[in-house]
A and B are shown apart, each in its own frame.
Chain A
């Protein structure tokens, strides 16, 4: 897949979270990591790429198809994507199973049996057998995040977008969730991942987009980025992050 943005700007009041971000990936990028310091625009870019946010200015295309800017178009486009967020964001009044089946039935038109089958298949694959009928508050952080990944994967999304999926988890659970993401990447799922897990990104990503201050500082194949970062900012960032690991 080829991602391309031109001068994308997204403002919140006076603050521009994205300030004319432009980049293009190679034609065959499949696992794209968005890296950069906090507040640099990773999360906003991820949301814009997934059609969860419509930018104020600029244009985005995926495989030369321009993303729509109107509400209806964005809704249709985002229904083809799966999202996982930092804070799990499961619906607290529904069980793990219902969290997955509800969108399958209401958004993707599956009947109840199909939806339940699909949901159970994913929950089992992600190691959540025996937890299907629990509400999010009865699940641990790692279990919640795996349920959230199951929900995102259930409709077979073209693109899976993960926004710092492990930043709220402890190191052991982080490892478990990253294993899941790595398996998905290896199984051929297209992924965009905003993360601070540098060594994980190094292992799974094939393209890196480095953002700071709302601008794309660097966009290069992962191998090049990690061995020869072009900008000073990226160098400093990588050094800072690898200091204690």
Chain B
């Protein structure tokens, strides 16, 4: 047991140095740099707005704070569900593109290329006004989530496929050699290794998904952008609407990126 403890300790040491003087110095330096960058950005921002003599007026906007909050929750809620849809769909499309049956391969390939190759706006309009209408789905939120999930799922499929296909042939042979069948090979060898390689691309795509959800306003979903548009129409103060809008997205997307980097660190091992 003593030995097990030793290896755990040495492993931790090799990945992260928790309290060494060097690491404290480097984190202090990073904090100072961050402050300096922030000060520079604020000064630039302030300078630009003074140059055009912009007169701020937050009063009108403040009255709409509840609507703003409601829009934010809608955006985050539908993005969350669409993320689940997109990851599941991306995984299935990836499997489909690796299928032994040519028809399935071609079908999934066509879906991925069509969805990735055309604007989301067009897909939303066709999906909402034609497909959902034909299928008598009278719930823009459901249609919107599915369409957004499909759009990002097609991108994720390619990210997943790249990660899976980067697993070397010798790993696949090792999996066969120890007697794994196809499902076991995916479960124990391919997915755990591909997960780490797919993580940076996947996070980027999920961040995009949150931002792309703003297009759902075109099919009448009152998410954040739609709320702000309504607000702007009443206050005639678009900047006071759009700036908080950008911040409301960043509040979620920045922590998401940060979380992903932490996860990457945890999955890190040399190959």
Contacts and interface: CB of A to CB of B under 8 A. Distances in A.
Chain A CB count within 10 A is highest, among B11, B174, B193, B271, for B174
Nearest to B270: A137
Interface in A155-204: 155
- Chain A contact patch, size range: 20 to 34
A54 to B, nearest CB: 11
A107 B179 contact: yes
Nearest to A151: B178
Contacts of B184: 106-107
Given A85-B170, A93-B193, A78 B3 contact: no
B179 A75 contact: yes
A107 B174 contact: no
Interface string A37-78: 000000000000010100000000000000000000001001
Interface in A61-110: 75, 78-79, 83, 85, 87, 89-93, 102-103, 106-108
Nearest to B267: A93
Contact of A130 (B3, B11, B196): B3
Nearest to B174: A89
Nearest to A135: B269
Interface in A114-132: 129-130, 132
Nearest to B7: A133
Interface string B1-21: 001101110010000000000
Contacts of B180: 103, 106-107
A145 to B, nearest CB: 13
Q: Is the interface of A mostly helix, strand, loop or mixed?
A: loop
A2 interface: no
A152 B178 CA distance: 7
A245 to B, nearest CB: 29
Contact of B269 (A52, A93, A129): A93
Contacts of B188: 91, 102, 106
A107 B4 CA distance: 27
Given A91-B189, A107-B184, A133-B4, A83 B270 contact: no
A152 B3 CA distance: 25
B173 interface: yes
A134 interface: yes
Nearest to A134: B7
A89 B269 contact: no
Nearest to B3: A130
B107 interface: no
Nearest to B195: A93
Interface in B169-200: 170-171, 173-174, 176-181, 184, 188-189, 192-193, 196
Nearest to A47: B173
A13 B211 CA distance: 47
B189 A89 contact: no
Contacts of B178: 83, 102-103, 107, 151
Contacts of A79: 179
Nearest to B271: A92
Contacts of A93: 192-193, 196, 269
Nearest to A103: B178
A169 B4 CA distance: 27
Nearest to A131: B7
8 contacts: A85-B177, A89-B174, A90-B174, A91-B188, A93-B192, A106-B188, A133-B7, A152-B177
Nearest 7 CB-CB pairings of A with B: A137-B270, A83-B177, A89-B174, A79-B179, A103-B178, A107-B179, A92-B271
